[in-house]
DNA sequence: TTCTTATATGCGCATATACTCATACTATAT
DNA sequence: ATATAGTATGAGTATATGCGCATATAAGAA
């Protein structure tokens, strides 16, 4: 329980989650949308994964992160809370715009994703 | 949002909350039930209050802390989550026993509380 | 093979957090 | 006024966390 809250108690990680609500993302997309360094993006995603909130799979060079089904099932109320509150973050509007741009610009080639 | 999660990302503070679910408590009760130093108890309660999760009132020498109504109203889903999960903490059983003992032993005179 | 791309991680630094001890503050009791 | 009880907070210390930089690893492309 503490691990989940620790993972959630950082601005950058909440911003990451607010975008992952829209669907799975790879590290380079986070890096581009949220303008953070690659190592920083990777570390935050690792924290979120270790807490059980995210899960990941690899395809080619890319690691795709998405919300863990197990997390949703075991933390229904918290998940509902996050869905409501994350899109109300002050950063969300501009982050979501950047996310839309990323999608059209295909900054990395990760749109080759299997799903 | 981050402030709430930061306040929740510490074991002692979750234990404090698990007891405050039962009703309001003063600092010396936390101190006695959870066997922490007075300053430690006070600081954790201050963190929880600053995050908006707890509110407090003073009566005589005592400061009583309880869940903030505003917090409950503005964070319904999170509050539901906490009510379910806090009593499942590994520490809860023995903490709750200590809490019961405190109540009967009247360790401090704070049972003179107005409510 | 060698080069490129995407990701993960070791290291060092700066800052944040939690703890203890001592002390200040506040309200009551004598 | 002085003593006592409950609480809050400053100072110092130890640990945790987040960051950038450099590098390692892994998978594809040329």
Per residue in A5-32, pLDDT (tens digit) is 999 999 999 999 999 998 899 999 999 9
For the segment A44-64, what is each residue's pLDDT rounded down to a tens digit?
A: 999 999 999 999 999 888 999
Residue span of the structural domain in which B63 resides: 2-102
Separation of B36 CA and C5 C1' (Å):
52
| B110 occurs within a structural domain | no
Q: Any idea what the CATH number is for the domain that residue A91 is in?
A: 1.10.10.10
- Alpha-carbon distance of B54 to A76, in angstroms, equals 23
pLDDT band at A79 (very low <50, low <70, confident <90, very high): very high
- Residue B60 maps to a domain: yes
Would you say residue A110 lies in a domain?
Answer: no
First to last CA, chain B: 31
Chain B CB within 8 Å of residue A21 CB: no
The answer to whether position A94 is within a domain reads: yes
Mean pLDDT score of chain B: 92
Q: Which nucleotides of C are covered by protein (CB under 7 A)?
A: 5-10, 17-23, 26-28
- Residues on chain A touching B75 (C-beta within 8 angstroms): 81
Nearest residue to B16 (alpha-carbon basis) of B68, B1, B35, B4: B35
pLDDT band at B114 (very low <50, low <70, confident <90, very high): low
Domain count, chain B: 1
Q: Which of A98-107, B31-40, B71-80 has the lowest mean pLDDT?
A: A98-107
pLDDT band for A111, please (50, 70, 90 cuts). low
Structure tokens at A77: 């109320």
Q: Is residue B57 part of a domain?
A: yes
Q: Quick check: is A98 in a domain?
A: yes
**Helix, strand, coil % over all residues of chain B, rounded to 5:** 60, 10, 25
* Confidence tier at A112 by pLDDT (50, 70, 90): low
CB-based contact B6 A1, cutoff 8 Å: no
Sheet (strand B62-67) strand order: B25-26, B62-67, B54-59
């Amino acid at each position: 329980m503490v691990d989940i809250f620790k993972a959630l108690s950082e601005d950058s990680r909440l911003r990451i989650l607010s975008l992952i609500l829209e669907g799975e993302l790879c590290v380079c997309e986070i890096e581009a949308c949220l303008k953070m360094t690659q190592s920083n993006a990777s570390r935050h995603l690792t924290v979120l994964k270790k807490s059980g909130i995210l899960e990941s799979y690899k395809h080619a060079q890319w690691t795709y992160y998405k919300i863990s089904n197990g997390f949703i099932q075991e933390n229904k109320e918290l998940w509902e809370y996050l869905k409501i509150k994350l899109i109300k973050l002050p950063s969300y509007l501009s982050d979501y715009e950047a996310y839309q741009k990323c999608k059209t610009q295909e900054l990395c080639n990760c749109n080759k994703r299997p799903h």
